[in-house]
Structure 1
């Protein structure tokens, strides 16, 4: 353990720090790469700084209550020495010489307390993960409240000025930027967890703790053999695509559905890129009878008459919800097995389902959702969302007649399969494994031994 951290290891919640100990506001730590770094260095510093904030590192959190009557949140502090250790780590990995700004801005990184018997920061606890910080903040109300009544007028004034100065140092957009960056990082990691859950549902990955726990990724598996892991339950993937009229997005013209049942895939070798499973996909295409003459041409070229995977069906607008319900399921369905909804920018298609009279959030079968746009962003480590056609081309999938809802639903499901195989193969022997990615890429990954976590679906 670092010698500087030994100073605090025996402290218990509520203990006061030593007089003269130097502290830095926690928000200032988080804001550092956004406020005090040259613009041309910012991107790489921000990535590494945030992604390694808790990498083999523990922070001792202290707290001071606002002495004013302003309703400001308590001031969360960490020892300045711990911040400097993290800065040293960043410098060594990026070969930089980042430091503390000069003048008054730099003084806020080394604040001391206790002059003239004013309050000292009180120990909250130790945080070795980002999730531990909000948990420790819940303890604040249990801390003793310092009595300021015995302070002289001058001491109280000086203490309030010092605290106002620290609060003022946090009053800009830096904290918001840092929070936005953390949310972005978590969102990007969730894309990777989505891929991992899909792999587990398909029997391509094991859960943590499941035998053999030594290899949950089956890097040596032959794709011409059945899947290496027992699929997690009997699950149906249902891909959705809905076409709306370009002159009024409230007018829905086509619905496409494509279904892949893991009861079918479990004994069929997927082959290279999962192509062996493509014939197992059952596709359906519905044209809304009342809007069959509304064909898009201005921004995209619609082709409702060119369904490549069967025969299109015409259905009345008021009956569409019931037709969809029979496929996906509801409380009355004989098939109550879990359904994973797949889509490209899936949230929009889910909202369109509701307009058609089918509220998927009321279907007990619906447990998880996959978004191929997000999954492909993770695959390419890019913040740019790609169109379905681009994704299919980059995956090497032979596709034609896009913007037919039945075709697009099928291509979306094929793309999901292609993505999970491409990601799985990227971890095979002889290639760079996720766990050994450069530190600057950590914002995308929780590591190869993360299993995707529990199912996730959007709120209604």
Structure 2
């Protein structure tokens, strides 16, 4: 199946305008206006990139998202990209592998929290590929999240996250975000899709190797990497007509993916999962 069904498919959404603005290559010919809250985020010094955290969040539960209670079981994934650290990669030589790995590890950090002792959460603990899970109580969520974002402006990244948003807003996480970036919507224009991709299918289309999806920490991590590769594709498509596209951005985002890819680091090694018969698999 081609990831680009035809030149006239895919809708330019608000998310696409916001993405270009956040990464500093939004021209004056956008089909949708840039959201005011994104437009007014401050820029990094000596850069057109916005000074924000991209915070990818995924919530998994088998007990529903509408109401929460102390007895429910959850695993919650959070992966954060700091654009301040991204700029450090601009000035790092492509041959300086050690420094590149060090900066990437400080640019993107992944966490998984589990709530409730149960086979369901213990399985997520075992499957998390980017560190050790931390068991917390439901009442700890707001404080944990607050510590991670450290009073910075943040863009909340989700993949088709309507259900996740219902849960997160119980802790003020959605309303406190500068913007909500849905990779499902952003991908439709960039990949020229006439339907919405599951996370599995999106990763396959972007040639991002993955393992152990449906553990929330992994899903949040891969959703953020998908957003970065969507940005690369969009910027490359714009390169010939948009003078604001900075080749250093494309190069640095590719270096992040190359550093995190299997074989580059043992903590992320694994084999690609393929959904049954190539069909989309339900997220939760």
Is the TM-score greater than 0.5?
yes
By how many angstroms is 1:309 displaced? Answer: 1.1
The structure whose Rg is larger is 1
Q: Which residue of 2 aligns with 1:188?
A: 11
Q: Which residue of 2 aligns with 1:151?
A: none
By how many angstroms is 1:375 displaced? Answer: 1.0
By how many angstroms is 1:295 displaced? Answer: 5.5
Query: Is the aligned partner of 1:286 residue 2:113?
Result: yes
| SS in structure 1 of the partner of residue 61 of structure 2 | strand
| SS in structure 2 of the partner of residue 237 of structure 1 | strand
Q: Which residue of 2 aligns with 1:253?
A: 74
| SS in structure 1 of the partner of residue 130 of structure 2 | coil
1:51-62 aligned within 5 A: none
The normalised TM-score by structure 2 is 0.63
Does the 8 Å contact 1:231/1:266 carry over to 2?
no
Q: CA–CA distance in 2 between the matches of 1:390 and 1:199?
A: 23
User: Are residues 419 and 252 of structure 1, via their aligned partners in 2, closer, same or farther at CA, if it must alter by over 3 Å?
Assistant: farther
User: Are residues 349 and 278 of structure 1, via their aligned partners in 2, closer, same or farther at CA, if it must alter by over 3 Å?
Assistant: farther
| SS in structure 2 of the partner of residue 360 of structure 1 | coil
Q: Greater relative contact order (Cα 8 A, min sep 6): structure 1 or 2?
A: 2
By how many angstroms is 1:306 displaced? Answer: 1.6
Unaligned runs of 5+ in 2: 1-7, 30-43, 95-99, 246-284
Q: CA–CA distance in 2 between the matches of 1:241 and 1:361?
A: 13
Q: CA–CA distance in 1 between the matches of 2:141 and 2:151?
A: 20
Q: Which residue of 1 aligns with 2:254?
A: none
Q: Which residue of 1 aligns with 2:163?
A: 348
> Over the residues paired in the alignment, what is the CA RMSD in angstroms?
3.3
Does the 8 Å contact 2:125/2:132 carry over to 1?
no
| SS in structure 2 of the partner of residue 305 of structure 1 | helix
By how many angstroms is 1:361 displaced? Answer: 4.6
Unaligned runs of 5+ in 1: 1-47, 49-184, 210-226, 297-301, 329-334, 435-447, 449-460
User: Are residues 278 and 376 of structure 1, via their aligned partners in 2, closer, same or farther at CA, if it must alter by over 3 Å?
Assistant: farther
| Matched residues, number | 207
Q: CA–CA distance in 1 between the matches of 2:60 and 2:169?
A: 14
* Selected match of 1:372 from 183, 187, 193: 183
Q: Which residue of 2 aligns with 1:100?
A: none
User: Are residues 199 and 362 of structure 1, via their aligned partners in 2, closer, same or farther at CA, if it must alter by over 3 Å?
Assistant: closer
| SS in structure 1 of the partner of residue 77 of structure 2 | strand
| SS in structure 1 of the partner of residue 195 of structure 2 | coil
By how many angstroms is 1:207 displaced? Answer: 5.4
